[in-house]
């Protein structure tokens, strides 16, 4: 009888140890999710990738309400409207990183990260195109504004081999002192056509009787390639 009781006790002990180990394993493997009120920011590097297998690293920074980084291993979910993206990543030093891989479709991928009750998107999205822009050439017609008080601006975008690239968003900007000029695009992207050209219109409010001044118009692609041209006003 004593031997039987000892065996029963040992079985119970082993069962208890097994349950404790299972509970520890379950807790250790449970996903760590952020609490409410975290601050979430998400970025893409680079913001432009080629359509055939290009890769952009998507990084999400998660900060707790107290201003500290969330614990390592905190889970962040990721979604994209184009390409293939890893569905989740875990933070290290407050940052979770996953890869967005282009799947031959072109367009702008809207990338979203979710952490706890917070959602954030990559500003401007990730542009997926046929090739990386290498050279941007900008021209104005006319190069001197008299009457009418405007000039047509054209940006030509080329790849490393000198081929024009279509579907590239181009941001036009203007600088002058004093600044009396505007662009019809208003800072919104203008996309290149099949000839690799994007268009905008420069307009001036400067009096026709005022002294001549020089205005600079710059065109910039998502991978920070840019070109500019100068326009004389009056």
**Residue 205, CB half-sphere, CA atoms under 13 Å: how many?**
8
> How far is it, in rounded angstroms, from Cα 25 to Cα 21?
6
Question: Both ends of the chain: CA-CA distance in Å?
Answer: 113
Q: Tens digits of per-residue pLDDT, 58-77? A: 999 999 999 999 999 999 99
pLDDT at 180: 97
> How far is it, in rounded angstroms, from Cα 229 to Cα 87?
44
pLDDT at 30: 65
* Domain 39-129 sits in CATH 2.60.40.10: yes
Sheet holding 95-103, edge to edge: 39-45, 52-63, 95-103, 84-85
pLDDT at 146: 95
Residues of the chain within CATH 2.60.40.10 domain(s) are 39-129, 135-233
Residue with tokens 């979203």: 112
CB atoms within 10 A of CB 210: 11
Query: Looking at the domain covering 135-233, what would its CATH class be?
Result: mainly beta
pLDDT at 11: 56
* pLDDT in single tens digits along all 234 residues of the chain: 444 545 554 455 355 544 444 444 444 456 788 889 999 999 999 888 888 888 999 999 999 999 999 999 999 999 999 999 999 999 999 999 999 999 988 888 999 999 999 999 999 899 888 778 999 999 999 999 999 999 999 999 998 888 898 888 999 999 999 999 999 999 999 999 989 999 999 999 999 999 999 999 999 998 899 999 999 999
């Amino acid at each position: 009888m004593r031997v039987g009781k000892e065996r029963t006790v040992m079985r119970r002990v082993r069962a208890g140890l097994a349950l404790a180990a299972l509970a520890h394993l379950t807790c250790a493997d449970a996903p760590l999710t952020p609490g409410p009120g975290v601050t979430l920011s998400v970025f893409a590097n680079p913001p432009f990738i080629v359509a055939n297998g290009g890769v952009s690293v998507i990084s999400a920074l998660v900060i707790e309400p107290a201003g500290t980084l969330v614990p390592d291993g905190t889970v962040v979910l990721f979604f994209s409207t184009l390409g293939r993206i890893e569905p989740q990543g875990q933070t290290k030093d407050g940052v979770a990183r996953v890869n967005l891989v282009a799947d031959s479709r072109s367009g702008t991928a809207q990338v979203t990260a979710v952490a706890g009750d917070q959602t954030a998107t990559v500003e401007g999205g990730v542009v997926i195109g046929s090739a990386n822009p290498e050279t941007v050439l900008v021209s104005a017609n006319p190069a001197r504004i008299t009457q009418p008080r405007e000039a047509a601006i054209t940006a030509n975008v080329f790849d490393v081999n000198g081929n024009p690239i279509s579907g590239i968003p181009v941001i036009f900007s203007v600088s002058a002192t004093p600044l009396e000029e505007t662009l019809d695009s208003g800072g919104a992207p203008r996309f290149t056509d099949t000839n690799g050209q994007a268009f905008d219109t420069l307009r001036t409010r400067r009096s026709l009787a005022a002294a001549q001044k020089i205005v600079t118009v710059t065109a910039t692609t998502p991978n920070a390639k840019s070109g500019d041209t100068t326009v004389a006003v009056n």
